[in-house]
């Protein structure tokens, strides 16, 4: 009976993988049940499915889908794995997952998701035992106006480091919350390509700034090179007009538009 149920589940999973152009792997380890349920509901509104099963069954579904190079996702099935299935694109999927994460304090034994930096500045603590507690994790302090102040930005853990209980407690006291609660997207498959989650991160504000800057540079190049386009023709005519006026005035070549300025710069004749 159990075997038949497993077979039926693999068939369902295989069909789901075949029906979705975007197939990803998430790690649900350490994700609170309520957070998981909330994320499932949010993603479902965008047509995204999360399918949980034993690792072996997920591997079978990937293999039986026969999609190009999708077996490369098998090595990404770690922790408490699940498949995430979408029809949009890997970047949108990653952005949706990131936007629905919340910050949380670190616990001893957790892995730093990125470099953890404690910023310089004042704290609310009076001098006391906390000085040695902070010093023991590499955070230097001094007393300012009766309170402790952190003297310099300090990287207390590198990405991938195990956070010690002592460091976790220090960060908690400083109200530093380096952890992100939410789905841990590991990798995504699309059209035979597998993208690790890191390469899917796009800073949207920076991306917009880069596009704006590139457009500005392109317009300037077009105008300066004398290469007219639909966006620069008017600017080039205006520039040519300004340059012609300047040449006329500098060379004292009188025209209807520049005669007053040329006369104004000429020495006044003696009476």
- Residue tagged 């990803």 (tokens): 24
Task: Please state, as a whole number, how many other Cβ atoms lie within 10 Å of the Cβ of residue 82.
Answer: 21
How many helices and strands (H and E) does the chain possess? Answer: 9, 12
The 8 Å CB, 24+ separation contacts for 192-197 are: 192/67, 192/68, 192/69, 192/70, 193/69, 194/69, 194/72, 194/73, 194/76, 195/90, 197/94
For each of the domains in the chain, give its residue range(s) and CATH number, in order of start: 2-101+182-201 (3.30.70.1730), 116-179 (3.90.105.20), 207-265 (no CATH)
Q: CA-to-CA distance for 152 and 121, rounded, in angstroms?
A: 8
> In degrees rounded to 5, what are phi and psi of residue 50?
-120, 125
Residues 73, 25: contact at Cβ < 8 Å?
A: yes
Q: How far apart are the first and last CA of the chain?
A: 120
Tokens of residue 225, six digits = 């090179």
Give, for all 271 residues of the chain, the pLDDT tens digit. Answer: 458 888 899 999 999 999 999 999 999 987 888 888 888 888 898 889 999 999 999 999 999 999 999 999 999 999 999 999 999 889 989 988 888 888 889 989 988 988 999 999 999 999 999 999 999 999 999 999 899 999 999 999 999 999 999 999 999 999 999 988 888 999 999 999 999 998 888 766 777 888 888 988 999 898 888 888 988 888 888 888 888 888 888 888 778 777 778 777 766 544 4
User: Strand pairing of 102-104 and 49-52?
Assistant: unpaired
C-alpha 260 chain-centroid distance: 58
């Amino acid at each position: 009976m159990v075997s038949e149920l497993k077979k039926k589940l693999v068939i369902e999973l295989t069909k789901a993988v075949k029906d979705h152009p975007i197939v990803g792997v998430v790690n649900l380890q350490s994700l609170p049940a309520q957070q998981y349920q909330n994320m499932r509901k949010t993603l479902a509104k965008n047509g995204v499915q999360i399918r949980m099963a034993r690792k072996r069954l997920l591997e079978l579904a990937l293999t039986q889908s026969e999609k190009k190079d999708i077996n490369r996702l098998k090595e990404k099935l770690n922790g408490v794995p699940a498949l995430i299935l979408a029809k949009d694109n890997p970047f949108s999927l990653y952005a949706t997952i990131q936007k629905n994460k919340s910050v949380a304090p670190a616990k001893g034994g957790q892995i730093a998701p990125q470099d953890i930096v404690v910023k310089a500045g004042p704290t609310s603590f009076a001098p006391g035992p906390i000085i040695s507690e902070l010093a023991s994790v590499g955070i230097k302090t001094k007393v300012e106006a009766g309170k402790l102040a952190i003297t310099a930005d300090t990287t207390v853990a590198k990405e991938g480091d195990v956070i010690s209980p002592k460091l976790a407690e220090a960060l908690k006291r400083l109200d530093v919350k380096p952890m992100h609660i939410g789905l841990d997207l590991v990798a995504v498959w699309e059209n035979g390509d597998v993208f690790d989650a890191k390469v899917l991160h796009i800073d949207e504000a920076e991306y917009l700034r880069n596009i704006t800057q590139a457009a500005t540079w392109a317009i300037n190049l077009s105008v300066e090179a004398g290469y007219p386009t639909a966006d620069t023709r008017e600017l080039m005519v205006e520039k040519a007009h300004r340059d012609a006026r300047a040449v006329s005035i500098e060379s004292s070549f009188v025209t209807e538009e520049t005669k007053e300025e040329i006369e104004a710069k000429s020495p006044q004749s003696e009476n």
